[in-house]
Chain A
């Protein structure tokens, strides 16, 4: 089980930006149904800026890279996803510290810290129809897989699958946080855009941090 390097994290951010670009219109469509139709554009702007910020001058450590991504997202996304994804990467970076590489268990713990940051920032709980519904099961699946002695690659794949399942499970829920909550019951029947982009984040992680190879799971 190899170490995760700064380059791995850069590849993650690059893959995330690519997936967001590919799904930009789909994310916007989902958000149009229950929000303000800007999630695709906001995330595209933010991830493009974040990649640009770390691609030219690669920071010294995985932690520093994550922090740079976080601050860039905070300033460039615009919507609530800015502080939420920003918090995720900032907490992730803080947890990773200054080490030049990180062990899989440390990355899993850092992912947990990132998700906890998102929960604190948005005050959302599981079942509120938010990105937490994809992120929380993903982190849990990753930790469980590692605890069961499975490989880092398998743990990341489990995380990506759990995120996709969590994303799918948001469809019948009634939103209780964010702009969609203004719709009340009418938000039921629509997949949550935040959970959808969060599933892309985990798909990108499985593709790059664990060497799962190309291809993201179907985002529908």
Chain B
């Protein structure tokens, strides 16, 4: 025998800890069958006696001492007190013995079998423990579950390797067919998984399944193999990947390669199948006419500015108040003295209106683009967009709707104007190389009901016009030129979805109750009386968020209390007795008001906004609070304050509310709450609970502030995922601390995300507020849930390493998932 602890010569003992002696002994019996006579020292510490369930630290310590031969002991446990007792047993052991004991988190039966076999082979205790821990992999693979997150590369005879897809168009049909052909010839079970998107694992021997990975250029893919030729399988796949799956190199391929994309990311649910249709930026007309007299050119410019102003205002009205801010910014540019003044000066100096305007725009654009602050730098795009619109108007062209395509729209990104102008009858789906699911463009596309994926990577832009595309905006997949069988699958799925939509809409007015009888209130986010009527018609249980900004924007003086009261009462009337949550004015440096000039801020999202801004003008807030109090005498109103950070703010607005209600008291039925958007509120929620009736989690901002990732930033779409465990923990903290003391709702975009719903319900959220168009679908999804199963899922999600793992857990858990 080689020296103790030496390679291949260890004698590691095993202790089985269980509540049940019968269970432990049967597990040992199973393991013995695998050993065919080889000796392994195994001791059982299970049950208080033959029949009484329980664990005993003293017995566990004795069992360890019994099987320890100097090379250490691996302890396998069932659950609950088994862990506590085993930990306690460690403390009872002598120091030198304790140091060589490993408590294994492996599943008891699988772990014991593997550990016994490996220990019999003379492995040391670290190897035995690692093998035991990976014991679930075989089962996972067999059942096609996501693998355990931390299998070592050498774990359990399960070999893995990773490669980055170098093919310009991703793992499309041809390279996928090469992959399938290669692994089918080998005696090994091989699976592949898209590490970038979390899709899979799927069997590498199935062409249609490999296609569902959506592995695009730059995505990282993991190949895992078990079986006799596992090593060879992994090696061959990696070699094949290194040869770009034997695809002829594209002569146009950029030498340096493009940055790997983090997508595609689901942006608007549904399935679209159709030919790729590129959105080409309409070229700006060159006006060759010589300059007329300056007064004539000035008039041309003024007319063009007026026309574009009207056009932008129309776009704003069409898309609703939630996105009004973007258009407001464009309107402000059209009135910007620096820009228009420079253009007018140019005209006076003899330049034509288009020439002077183009020069003024270019100058301002380059100023913005040169700023060190990336947020402000990005605003240069706004300047260019507005500038081009005016140039088109000067040339007498129809204003750029920009979108004249049929099929699946392919573009780098969309401006809000273009997104809002999409025609769902012609644009079947949207696939963006950049963008983010929380960008204004994505929100607009979602409100139009067009399936979309974003952040698909710049490789997408090279897909030729007319190439068949499948956009799965629910799962976040983009298939380029998939095999006919896959297209048929998606067509069938799309037909199913259409039928589901019709059924969901018919059911929408009923309460949404989970299968185990938990009601989940599904309200709507609205910004106007028209929205409110749409919400009521869509079956919303109330208004979870009434945005009041539309009353305040684009006017010369603030609305009076009477005007506001009228608006709030009209919304109450539309909802016919269902509750309405009114959010006080939520603006900041990015949405300035004409009658309330604010200093420009380098980073408006971390600046004076929401309640912070309101508290600088208590008179304006008092007017709004007075209007809310009056409206509250006519129906169930909840009053909500945005961007709250500290308790003092709540106390201050509470004082203002009491004053605003005068001469009467604050109306009885008026419930007061705050939005949980700043992580500090979620972390310190105990301090807020005595002062609020409810908490409304605004996941858009909570995500942006927790992950320090600007929403809408194209490079951060995958980072700014509201299903990141860090965000979920804040939701969990808020919901659990508030349970029984204040109601908790979620009113961000995530509330309508099918992947998020079971997690939110599992975390204890019982009120959601979504876009009116999403109400029916969310209610239907609630009816398919079991709150207990959701709680289990949510707990696993809280322990996940990242958003991709959370999404994989949800996919695995949901019976009707993609």
Cross-chain contact A178 with B739 (CB below 8 angstroms): no
Cross-chain contact B795 with A184 (CB below 8 angstroms): yes
CA distance A178 to B737 in the complex (A): 18
Chain B's closest residue to A81 (CB) is: B81
If A76-B48, A184-B788, A184-B791 touch, does A82 touch B764 (CB 8 Å cutoff)? no
Q: Known pairs A42-B54, A78-B81; list 11 more (Cβ under 8 Å).
A: A74-B57, A75-B56, A78-B48, A78-B56, A79-B54, A80-B81, A83-B85, A173-B736, A176-B736, A185-B739, A186-B791
B52, B54, B56, B794: residue with the most chain A Cβ atoms closer than 10 Å: B54
Interface of chain B residues 433 through 449 with chain A (CB within 8 A): none
* B519 on the A face (CB < 8 A): no
Cross-chain contact A82 with B81 (CB below 8 angstroms): yes
* A31 on the B face (CB < 8 A): no
If A77-B54, A84-B84 touch, does A186 touch B788 (CB 8 Å cutoff)? yes
A-B contact pairs, 17 of them (CB 8 A): A45-B48, A74-B56, A76-B56, A78-B56, A80-B81, A83-B55, A83-B84, A83-B85, A83-B88, A86-B88, A127-B737, A174-B739, A178-B80, A184-B794, A184-B795, A185-B791, A186-B788
* A150 on the B face (CB < 8 A): no
CB distance from B82 to the nearest CB of A (A): 9
* Residues of chain A contacted by B791 (CB below 8 angstroms): 183-186
CA distance A26 to B87 in the complex (A): 30
CA distance A86 to B54 in the complex (A): 14
Cross-chain contact B788 with A83 (CB below 8 angstroms): no
Chain B's closest residue to A77 (CB) is: B54
Chain A's closest residue to B53 (CB) is: A78
CB distance from B766 to the nearest CB of A (A): 9
CB distance from B79 to the nearest CB of A (A): 8
* A188 on the B face (CB < 8 A): yes
Chain B's closest residue to A189 (CB) is: B740
The dominant DSSP class at the A interface is helix
* Residues of chain B contacted by A86 (CB below 8 angstroms): 57, 88
Interface of chain A residues 133 through 190 with chain B (CB within 8 A): 172-174, 176, 178-179, 181-186, 188-189
Cross-chain contact B53 with A83 (CB below 8 angstroms): no
CA distance A71 to B61 in the complex (A): 12
* Residues of chain A contacted by B740 (CB below 8 angstroms): 172, 188-189
* Residues of chain A contacted by B739 (CB below 8 angstroms): 172-174, 185, 188
CB distance from A176 to the nearest CB of B (A): 7
* A87 on the B face (CB < 8 A): yes
CB distance from B450 to the nearest CB of A (A): 36
* B487 on the A face (CB < 8 A): no
Contact with A along B42-81 (1 / 0, CB 8 A): 0000001000111111110000000000000000000011
* B787 on the A face (CB < 8 A): yes
CB distance from A170 to the nearest CB of B (A): 11
Q: How large is the interface on A (under 10, 10 to 19, 20 to 34, 35 or more residues)?
A: 20 to 34
Chain A's closest residue to B765 (CB) is: A185
Chain A's closest residue to B88 (CB) is: A83
CA distance A76 to B405 in the complex (A): 76
Chain B's closest residue to A80 (CB) is: B81
Chain A's closest residue to B57 (CB) is: A74
Cross-chain contact A174 with B81 (CB below 8 angstroms): no
* Residues of chain B contacted by A84 (CB below 8 angstroms): 84
Which of A71, A172, A182, A183 is close to B741, meaning CB atoms less than 8 Å apart? A172
Chain A's closest residue to B48 (CB) is: A78
CA distance A29 to B788 in the complex (A): 21
Contact with B along A10-26 (1 / 0, CB 8 A): 00000000000000000
Interface of chain A residues 95 through 154 with chain B (CB within 8 A): 121-122, 127
CA distance A153 to B570 in the complex (A): 65
CA distance A173 to B58 in the complex (A): 33
If A172-B741, A185-B787 touch, does A179 touch B80 (CB 8 Å cutoff)? yes
* A207 on the B face (CB < 8 A): no
* Residues of chain B contacted by A192 (CB below 8 angstroms): none
CA distance A174 to B85 in the complex (A): 24
3 pairs of A and B residues whose beta carbons are closest in the complex: A78-B54, A184-B791, A172-B740
If A76-B48, A80-B80, A80-B84 touch, does A184 touch B764 (CB 8 Å cutoff)? yes
* B722 on the A face (CB < 8 A): no
CA distance A166 to B456 in the complex (A): 53
* B762 on the A face (CB < 8 A): yes
CA distance A209 to B815 in the complex (A): 58
Which of A75, A121, A176, A188 is close to B84, meaning CB atoms less than 8 Å apart? A121
* Residues of chain A contacted by B152 (CB below 8 angstroms): none
Cross-chain contact A83 with B57 (CB below 8 angstroms): yes
* Residues of chain B contacted by A78 (CB below 8 angstroms): 19, 48, 52-56, 81
* Residues of chain A contacted by B48 (CB below 8 angstroms): 45, 75-76, 78
CB distance from B195 to the nearest CB of A (A): 30
Contact with A along B781-818 (1 / 0, CB 8 A): 00000011001101100000000000000000000000
Cross-chain contact B792 with A82 (CB below 8 angstroms): no
* Residues of chain B contacted by A173 (CB below 8 angstroms): 736, 739
Chain B's closest residue to A173 (CB) is: B739
CA distance A183 to B787 in the complex (A): 10
Which of B55, B58, B81 is close to A71, meaning CB atoms less than 8 Å apart? B58
Cross-chain contact B55 with A185 (CB below 8 angstroms): no
Chain A's closest residue to B49 (CB) is: A78
Chain A's closest residue to B795 (CB) is: A184
CB distance from A115 to the nearest CB of B (A): 16
* Residues of chain A contacted by B81 (CB below 8 angstroms): 78-83
CA distance A147 to B739 in the complex (A): 35
CA distance A186 to B56 in the complex (A): 29
Chain B's closest residue to A38 (CB) is: B53
CA distance A219 to B660 in the complex (A): 47
Contact with A along B323-355 (1 / 0, CB 8 A): 000000000000000000000000000000000
Cross-chain contact B788 with A82 (CB below 8 angstroms): no
CB distance from A119 to the nearest CB of B (A): 12
CA distance A42 to B56 in the complex (A): 12
Interface of chain B residues 720 through 755 with chain A (CB within 8 A): 736-737, 739-741
* Residues of chain A contacted by B87 (CB below 8 angstroms): 83, 121
CA distance A80 to B334 in the complex (A): 70
If A80-B81, A82-B54, A179-B80 touch, does A185 touch B764 (CB 8 Å cutoff)? yes
CA distance A69 to B111 in the complex (A): 35
CB distance from B481 to the nearest CB of A (A): 45
* Residues of chain A contacted by B54 (CB below 8 angstroms): 42, 77-79, 82
Cross-chain contact A174 with B58 (CB below 8 angstroms): no
Contact with A along B551-585 (1 / 0, CB 8 A): 00000000000000000000000000000000000
Cross-chain contact B762 with A184 (CB below 8 angstroms): yes
If A80-B80, A82-B56 touch, does A74 touch B85 (CB 8 Å cutoff)? yes
Chain B's closest residue to A42 (CB) is: B54
